[in-house]
Protein backbone atom coordinates (compact mmCIF):
# COMPACT_ATOMS: atom_id res chain seq x y z
CA UNK A 1 0.00 0.00 0.00
CA UNK A 2 1.08 3.53 -0.69
CA UNK A 3 0.96 6.15 2.11
CA UNK A 4 -2.46 7.35 0.92
CA UNK A 5 -3.93 3.84 1.21
CA UNK A 6 -4.19 3.03 -2.48
CA UNK A 7 -2.72 -0.13 -3.95
CA UNK A 8 0.15 0.35 -6.36
CA UNK A 9 0.61 -1.51 -9.59
CA UNK A 10 3.96 -2.34 -11.14
CA UNK A 11 4.47 -2.76 -14.86
CA UNK A 12 5.92 -6.16 -15.68
CA UNK A 13 6.46 -5.11 -19.28
CA UNK A 14 5.21 -7.17 -22.16
CA UNK A 15 3.83 -3.97 -23.69
CA UNK A 16 2.55 -4.68 -27.17
CA UNK A 17 0.66 -2.67 -29.73
CA UNK A 18 -2.66 -4.22 -30.71
CA UNK A 19 -3.98 -1.60 -33.12
CA UNK A 20 -2.94 1.82 -34.46
CA UNK A 21 -5.09 4.47 -36.15
CA UNK A 22 -4.61 8.15 -36.87
CA UNK A 23 -5.90 9.19 -33.44
CA UNK A 24 -5.18 6.29 -31.10
CA UNK A 25 -3.01 3.28 -30.36
CA UNK A 26 -4.46 0.33 -28.44
CA UNK A 27 -1.88 -1.45 -26.29
CA UNK A 28 -1.72 -4.38 -23.87
CA UNK A 29 0.67 -4.38 -20.93
CA UNK A 30 1.16 -6.74 -17.96
CA UNK A 31 0.83 -5.23 -14.47
CA UNK A 32 1.23 -6.73 -11.00
CA UNK A 33 -0.88 -5.65 -8.05
CA UNK A 34 1.44 -4.94 -5.11
CA UNK A 35 -1.30 -5.78 -2.61
CA UNK A 36 -1.99 -9.31 -3.91
CA UNK A 37 0.83 -10.20 -6.29
CA UNK A 38 -1.75 -10.92 -9.01
CA UNK A 39 -0.73 -10.11 -12.57
CA UNK A 40 -3.03 -9.18 -15.41
CA UNK A 41 -2.80 -7.89 -18.96
CA UNK A 42 -4.58 -4.52 -19.18
CA UNK A 43 -5.66 -3.00 -22.48
CA UNK A 44 -5.45 0.77 -22.74
CA UNK A 45 -5.61 3.41 -25.44
CA UNK A 46 -3.00 6.07 -26.13
CA UNK A 47 -5.08 8.91 -27.55
CA UNK A 48 -4.35 12.43 -28.72
CA UNK A 49 -5.36 15.11 -26.20
CA UNK A 50 -8.71 16.79 -26.90
CA UNK A 51 -10.28 20.17 -26.41
CA UNK A 52 -13.92 21.21 -26.03
CA UNK A 53 -15.05 24.79 -26.29
CA UNK A 54 -17.65 26.71 -24.31
CA UNK A 55 -18.35 29.60 -26.73
CA UNK A 56 -20.33 32.40 -25.06
CA UNK A 57 -21.89 35.22 -27.07
CA UNK A 58 -21.88 38.88 -25.97
CA UNK A 59 -25.50 38.27 -24.86
CA UNK A 60 -24.23 35.44 -22.57
CA UNK A 61 -25.86 32.71 -24.67
CA UNK A 62 -24.00 29.56 -25.69
CA UNK A 63 -23.10 28.50 -29.21
CA UNK A 64 -23.82 24.78 -29.47
CA UNK A 65 -23.60 22.25 -32.28
CA UNK A 66 -25.57 19.22 -33.43
CA UNK A 67 -23.85 16.39 -35.24
CA UNK A 68 -24.30 12.68 -35.93
CA UNK A 69 -22.24 10.42 -33.70
CA UNK A 70 -21.45 6.94 -34.92
CA UNK A 71 -21.19 5.45 -31.43
CA UNK A 72 -24.76 6.31 -30.46
CA UNK A 73 -26.08 6.31 -34.05
CA UNK A 74 -27.92 9.58 -33.41
CA UNK A 75 -27.54 13.32 -33.64
CA UNK A 76 -26.06 14.68 -30.40
CA UNK A 77 -26.31 18.20 -28.96
CA UNK A 78 -22.78 19.27 -28.05
CA UNK A 79 -20.28 22.09 -27.92
CA UNK A 80 -17.49 22.43 -30.52
CA UNK A 81 -14.28 20.52 -30.00
CA UNK A 82 -11.81 18.02 -31.34
CA UNK A 83 -8.25 16.76 -31.26
CA UNK A 84 -5.33 18.98 -30.37
CA UNK A 85 -3.27 18.81 -33.55
CA UNK A 86 0.52 18.72 -33.57
CA UNK A 87 0.45 22.13 -35.25
CA UNK A 88 -1.48 23.64 -32.30
CA UNK A 89 0.81 25.47 -29.90
CA UNK A 90 -1.56 24.95 -26.97
CA UNK A 91 -5.05 23.80 -26.01
CA UNK A 92 -6.13 27.46 -26.33
CA UNK A 93 -4.98 27.61 -29.94
CA UNK A 94 -6.68 24.28 -30.67
CA UNK A 95 -9.93 25.59 -29.17
CA UNK A 96 -9.88 28.71 -31.31
CA UNK A 97 -9.13 26.64 -34.42
CA UNK A 98 -11.86 24.06 -33.74
CA UNK A 99 -14.44 26.78 -33.01
CA UNK A 100 -13.66 28.58 -36.27
CA UNK A 101 -13.55 25.39 -38.36
CA UNK A 102 -16.78 23.91 -36.99
CA UNK A 103 -18.89 27.08 -36.74
CA UNK A 104 -17.21 30.04 -38.44
CA UNK A 105 -17.26 31.85 -35.06
CA UNK A 106 -14.37 33.48 -33.22
CA UNK A 107 -14.14 35.36 -29.95
CA UNK A 108 -11.78 36.68 -27.33
CA UNK A 109 -10.16 35.77 -24.02
CA UNK A 110 -9.81 32.01 -24.51
CA UNK A 111 -9.04 30.46 -21.14
CA UNK A 112 -8.95 26.97 -19.69
CA UNK A 113 -11.76 26.46 -17.18
CA UNK A 114 -11.14 22.77 -16.55
CA UNK A 115 -9.56 19.57 -17.71
CA UNK A 116 -10.53 15.94 -17.31
CA UNK A 117 -9.24 12.46 -17.96
CA UNK A 118 -12.09 11.22 -20.21
CA UNK A 119 -11.82 7.60 -19.04
CA UNK A 120 -8.73 6.87 -16.91
CA UNK A 121 -9.54 3.16 -16.77
CA UNK A 122 -8.59 2.74 -20.43
CA UNK A 123 -7.37 6.07 -21.83
CA UNK A 124 -4.16 8.05 -21.36
CA UNK A 125 -5.32 11.41 -22.73
CA UNK A 126 -6.54 14.71 -21.31
CA UNK A 127 -9.50 16.80 -22.47
CA UNK A 128 -9.19 20.55 -21.87
CA UNK A 129 -12.30 22.71 -21.46
CA UNK A 130 -11.75 26.18 -22.94
CA UNK A 131 -14.20 29.07 -22.61
CA UNK A 132 -14.13 31.73 -25.32
CA UNK A 133 -15.97 34.99 -24.64
CA UNK A 134 -17.94 37.26 -26.98
CA UNK A 135 -18.05 34.86 -29.91
CA UNK A 136 -19.42 36.12 -33.21
CA UNK A 137 -19.59 34.75 -36.70
CA UNK A 138 -16.69 35.90 -38.87
CA UNK A 139 -16.71 33.34 -41.70
CA UNK A 140 -18.32 30.24 -43.06
CA UNK A 141 -17.46 26.99 -41.26
CA UNK A 142 -14.62 24.94 -42.77
CA UNK A 143 -15.90 21.44 -42.20
CA UNK A 144 -13.88 18.32 -42.93
CA UNK A 145 -15.29 15.91 -45.51
CA UNK A 146 -16.45 13.66 -42.66
CA UNK A 147 -18.25 16.42 -40.72
CA UNK A 148 -21.85 17.59 -41.03
CA UNK A 149 -22.39 20.10 -38.24
CA UNK A 150 -25.29 22.42 -37.52
CA UNK A 151 -24.75 25.25 -35.03
CA UNK A 152 -27.25 27.22 -32.98
CA UNK A 153 -27.25 29.94 -30.35
CA UNK A 154 -28.93 28.66 -27.18
CA UNK A 155 -30.11 30.79 -24.22
CA UNK A 156 -28.60 29.62 -20.92
CA UNK A 157 -32.07 28.81 -19.51
CA UNK A 158 -32.62 26.46 -22.46
CA UNK A 159 -29.23 24.78 -21.85
CA UNK A 160 -30.33 24.13 -18.25
CA UNK A 161 -33.57 22.63 -19.57
CA UNK A 162 -31.56 20.39 -21.94
CA UNK A 163 -29.54 19.20 -18.95
CA UNK A 164 -32.68 18.46 -16.90
CA UNK A 165 -34.38 16.55 -19.74
CA UNK A 166 -31.33 14.58 -20.83
CA UNK A 167 -31.24 16.21 -24.29
CA UNK A 168 -27.49 16.57 -23.75
CA UNK A 169 -26.03 13.14 -23.10
CA UNK A 170 -22.41 13.45 -24.25
CA UNK A 171 -20.33 12.90 -21.09
CA UNK A 172 -17.49 15.24 -22.00
CA UNK A 173 -19.98 18.00 -22.89
CA UNK A 174 -21.67 17.50 -19.52
CA UNK A 175 -18.25 17.87 -17.84
CA UNK A 176 -17.57 21.03 -19.84
CA UNK A 177 -20.91 22.54 -18.85
CA UNK A 178 -20.17 21.70 -15.21
CA UNK A 179 -16.96 23.75 -15.40
CA UNK A 180 -18.93 26.54 -17.14
CA UNK A 181 -21.49 26.67 -14.30
CA UNK A 182 -18.68 26.67 -11.73
CA UNK A 183 -17.19 29.75 -13.40
CA UNK A 184 -20.53 31.44 -14.08
CA UNK A 185 -22.10 30.81 -10.66
CA UNK A 186 -19.20 30.29 -8.20
CA UNK A 187 -21.43 30.96 -5.21
CA UNK A 188 -23.15 27.59 -5.80
CA UNK A 189 -19.82 25.76 -5.60
CA UNK A 190 -18.24 27.46 -2.57
Q: What is the residue-level pLDDT of the chain in tens, covering all 190 positions?
A: 455 656 689 999 899 999 999 889 999 999 999 989 999 999 999 999 999 999 999 999 999 999 999 999 999 999 999 999 999 999 999 999 999 999 999 999 999 999 999 999 999 999 999 999 999 999 999 999 999 999 999 999 999 999 999 999 999 999 999 999 999 998 988 7
Task: Give the pLDDT of residue 5.
Answer: 57
Count CB atoms within 10 A of the CB of residue 49: 17
Q: Is 0.85 topped by the overall pTM?
A: yes
Q: Please, which residues have CB within 8 angstroms of residue 13's CB and are 6 or more apart in sequence?
A: 29, 30
Neighbouring-strand partners of residue 50: 83, 127
In the chain, beta strands by DSSP E: 9-11, 16-20, 24-33, 39-47, 50-55, 62-69, 74-78, 81-83, 105-116, 127-137, 149-154
Q: CATH class for domain 50-189? A: alpha beta
Are 152 and 167 in contact by the 8 Å Cβ rule? The answer is no
Amino acid sequence: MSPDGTAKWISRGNRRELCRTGVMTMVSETFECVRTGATHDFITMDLIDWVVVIPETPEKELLMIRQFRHGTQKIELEVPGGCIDRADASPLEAAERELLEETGFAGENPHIIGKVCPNPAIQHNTCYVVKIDNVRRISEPRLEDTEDIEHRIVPVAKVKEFLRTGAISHGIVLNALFFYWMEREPEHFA
